[in-house]
Amino acid sequence: MRFIFYDTETTGTNTSFDQILQFAAIYTDEHFNELDRLEIRGRLLPYIIAAPGALLTNGVSIERLHDPSLPSHYQMVRTIQAKLRAWSPAVFIGYNSLRFDENIFRQALYQTLHPPYLTNTGGNSRTDAMKMVQAASVFAPNALVIPLIDTGAPTFKLEAVARANGFEEHNAHDALGDVEATIHLCRLIRERALGLWTTFIRFNRKLPVQDLLQHEPVVCLTEFYGGPFSWLVTAIGRNPENENEICVVDLAESPEELSEMSDEDLAAHLRKLPKPVRWVRTNASPILMPSEAATDIATAKQLGAQELQRRSSVYRTNRSLRDRLVNVALGDREPRAQSIYVEQQIYDGFFLNNDQEIMFAFHDVEWERRFELSQQFGDARLRKIAQRVLFTEAPECLPAEIRFAHERESAHRLIAEQAEWLTLPKAIEQTDDLLKTANEQSKPFLMKYRAYLAQRLEQASGKAA
């Protein structure tokens, strides 16, 4: 088994509309011995604004955003994709990656005409080191030191946890430094809590998770919302629109009492927090442990093994109750809104085989031929993305009217009054807010960045007119 530990530094936290500025990965064997590594930075896309707070955190200068010696975003992603393909198959591990890095990396692939699911296809799988650290705090409390913030609450920030556990040389908020810190923590978990490590590696694929939930009548599920919450649950159904989601019910809930509720009362009851009925994403490394490992925070534990087994049996054999619970849980969800923006259309369907063949061909032909090739895409998303790539990489290869349309669109994106992404006016406002409390170290950068933003605003306004 091989591992790919990776991390990103980005222009902000919006996984649809921000971009990667730095990507780092270390490829190891099963004992964490390094086999290869990659560290690469890229330039800012012309229609994206970096959040001032992100630049302060990452230490990225204005000059570096536009450094001509750095590869473009497209060139950077091409390099990353080729290297990760060469290392595959492997287990991808990041820190808080399933919530952030995974999603922004998928967008980077998608927005440069690459298949977006690299980390969980082609024999690859993924897990999240932060989930391991969180699970260790509950099920192996002596394995790691979990630092506390001023309020006495635990913090799971990578920089704090790594330092508390002996990683003193951590170059925080640098992608490569964060990768090295993640490897350090994973090594400690494997050495001190081998069972926990083995469980996470086992459940980095959806089929073992599905098999566990199907065949084990009682399982301990743990999630973190500021702090840990654990439930002893049993599986009661699957999302008919998403096979990767399995519905589970907290066995602290009496099946007899739920059965007697009216539909209205049942719906109201299931909305209480924490929710009695939950969805487990089998492809997102859920924290699942044997029922006997449950701690006292799982309130159903006090019922005893016999009653837990009885309740599980009732839920699993009472199809009417199962269907009611699943339907209420489904009905309580807001449908995913359709978006007019190509970035947010990433999950609007898989690409057909013919389009995938054109995607691969697109990267291999001369730039002069790519626009003509892009017109063969059946998927409108891919035609749009191909034109954007051409606009940023070789605008002279676009027909004049399409090039001018992209110039206007790019300018409008930068100055839009109502937008889901960071615009120049918003960035100036954020910079002004940061300047109010800035220290002597950060103030010069913020003042310089504000002047840069104002200059870009003037330029964009002229192009959009």
Per-domain residue ranges of the chain: 1-204, 205-331, 342-464
- Which of 97, 101, 108, 48 is closest to 75 using CA atoms? 108
d(CA 210, CA 207): 5
CA distance 445 to 310: 64
Beta carbons of 444 and 456 less than 8 angstroms apart? no
pLDDT at 465: 66
Spell out, as residue ranges, where the chain has pLDDT lower than 50. Answer: none
Structure tokens of 338? Answer: 């359709």
Model confidence pLDDT, tens digit, residues 178-223: 999 999 999 999 999 999 999 999 999 999 999 999 999 999 999 9
Q: Are strands 277-281 and 242-250 parallel, antiparallel or unpaired?
A: antiparallel
At 336, list the tokens: 């995913």
The phi and psi torsions of 268 (rounded to 5 degrees) equal: -65, -40
Q: What is the pLDDT of residue 331?
A: 87
**Equal fold, 1-204 vs 205-331:** no
State whether the Cα torsion 36-41-45-51 is positive or negative.
positive
Spell 425-447 as b/e; 16+ CB within 10 A means b: bbbbebbeebeeebeeeeeebbe
Q: Where are the beta strands (DSSP E) in 317-407?
A: none
390's CB contacts (< 8 A; 6+ apart) are 367, 370, 371, 374, 397, 398
| Cis preceding-peptide flag for 274 (omega within 30 of 0) | yes
Rounded CA gap, 439 and 447, in Å?
12
Which CATH number applies to 1-204? 3.30.420.10
Is the CA virtual torsion 292, 296, 300, 302 positive or negative? positive
Asked if the 205-331 domain carries CATH number 3.30.1520.20, the reply is: yes
Separation CA 298–CA 306 (nearest Å): 16
pLDDT confidence of residue 303: 97
**Long-range contacts for 201-209 (Cβ within 8 Å, ≥24 apart)?**
201/1, 201/91, 201/127, 203/127, 203/285, 203/286, 203/288, 204/91, 204/125, 204/126, 204/127, 204/285, 205/125, 205/283, 206/244, 206/282, 206/283, 209/246, 209/280, 209/282, 209/283, 209/286, 209/288
- In whole angstroms, give the CA distance from residue 444 to residue 432: 13
Tell me, what's the pLDDT at 226?
Answer: 83
